[in-house]
Amino acid sequence: MKYITTVDGKEYQIEVVDEKHVRVGDRLLEVDFESVNGQPVFSVILDGKSYESFISESDEGWQVLMRGKQYQITVEDEREKRLRAAAGGGVAEGGEFNLKAPMPGLVVAIPVAEGQEIKKGQVLIILESMKMQNELKSPKDGIVERIRVKAGESVEQKQALLSVK
């Protein structure tokens, strides 16, 4: 199976040849790939070099944490890539953004109001958790659609807080 893997705008052609081999560009590498203890921690030996990394799936693709650095990576097979090219991309920019609580906590303040026009990076909600106040910011320009919580309210992790259109 052939994949196009993108890290920070740079594309890699990676083919999973069989269980023991991958081809990167035109180089064939011997690979020994194991998950540690059934955890999202993976150990890989690539042509004799040993690496370990924590890999999780996020909304934007894969997050690979290795040697103190985090890489944001998208992996597509050729068909997915063609489909996305045909759709013209831009799904992330156009759609509605639903702000969910990244952790359980207490809503301290909501410095925006419904119908308000906001800029990317503007603070939408201040959430207190573990004695720390955290500013949850908007990832895009838009209009505040619906605020589902009030200041002083306790929220669960992943609870919908508000949406930006």
Q: Read out DSSP for 118-147?
A: E-TT-EEEEEEETTEEEEEE-SS-EEEEEE
Interface with another protein (CB under 8 A), residue from 7, 84, 100, 116: 7
Alpha helices by DSSP H, the chain:
78-87, 91-94
Contact status, residue 165 vs residue 145, Cβ threshold 8 Å: yes
Residue from 26, 37, 59, 150 binding another protein (CB under 8 A)? 37
152 binds another protein, rule: CB under 8 A: no
In the structure encoding, which two tokens stand for residue 53, read together?
């990394």
- Return the number of the residue (65 or 97) whose C-beta is nearest another protein: 65
* Residues between 77 and 136 that touch another protein (CB under 8 A): 77, 102-105, 129-132, 134-135
Pick from 26, 28, 69, 82 the residue near another protein by CB under 8 A: 69
* Buried b or exposed e, range 75-85, using 16+ CB within 10 angstroms: ebeeeeeeeee
Q: Which is nearer to another protein, 126 or 146 (CB)?
A: 126
Q: How many CB atoms lie within 10 A of CB 133?
A: 12
**Site for another protein, rule CB under 8 A:** 1, 3, 5, 7-8, 10, 12, 14, 16, 22, 24, 29, 31, 33, 36-37, 39-42, 44, 46, 51-55, 61-62, 64-71, 73, 75, 77, 102-105, 129-132, 134-135, 137, 157
